[in-house]
Amino acid sequence: MNFTELATDFSCRLAASGDQDAMVSTYRESFADDPVFQWIFPDEETRKSLLEKFFTVMIGHTFSHGGFALQAKDYGAVSMFFPPDAVMQPEEAKNHLLHSLRHELGPESEMIVHVLTTLDARHPKDFPPHYYGTFVAAHPQEQGNGLGTRLKRCVFALADQDGAGAYAEASSPRNLALYERLGQRRLGPAVTLPGGPQIFPIWRPPVAAVG
């Protein structure tokens, strides 16, 4: 990835694994009122502490298995993603992630394991090379300032550099509408969680294939 010019264009930079605490803080605060995570962790009293454990595991997994993270405005917004050569994780890595979540979250891991395995099963296996954006979030104090949009566009620019597509999931109709405005489109039916909200797979084809 030629990131130097893109960092200037989008006023963002690669997040460092040593700044995990700052990343976790933004994710924890941002996703506390997300409909999917309200379903996963329904107890409002414990939700933020469980989100902290969850994102600590996910950040570690991302950095350890070929993924990257972007950040803007001193971690006011963060976004994790996998480049094309790291999107399809080996079964050993997937199993290790689920084991780590069960270890950290105990009985509270049941729903998140269900979500992750369901999304993995829905992830297209026959698509052209693509970037996979996993979690993008802006701290509540920074929401509405366009930081998340900036990070999404930076990932798209990285994909365009490589002639690759961009895949993700939207966790709410509001996020879906935003991502559609940025050029991603719904891909197949929504994933409906048992007795819960929907998750929307979304896709942006490689630039050469657009139109």
Q: What is the pLDDT of residues 140-158, one digit of tens each?
A: 999 889 999 999 999 999 9
135: enclosing H helix or E strand? strand 130-138
Q: How far apart are CA 38 and CA 32, in angstroms?
A: 7
**pLDDT tens digits, one per residue of 175-206:** 999 999 999 999 999 999 999 999 999 999 99
Q: What pLDDT is recorded for position 68?
A: 95
Q: pLDDT at residue 208 above 80?
A: no
Identity at 175, one-letter amino acid code = N
Q: pLDDT at residue 1 above 70?
A: no
Q: How far apart are CA 199 and CA 169, in angstroms?
A: 6
- This prediction has a pTM of 0.93
Q: pLDDT at residue 163 above 50?
A: yes
52: enclosing H helix or E strand? helix 44-64
Q: What pLDDT is recorded for position 105?
A: 98
Phi and psi at residue 41, to the nearest 5°:
-120, 80
The fold of 4-209 is Aminopeptidase (3.40.630)
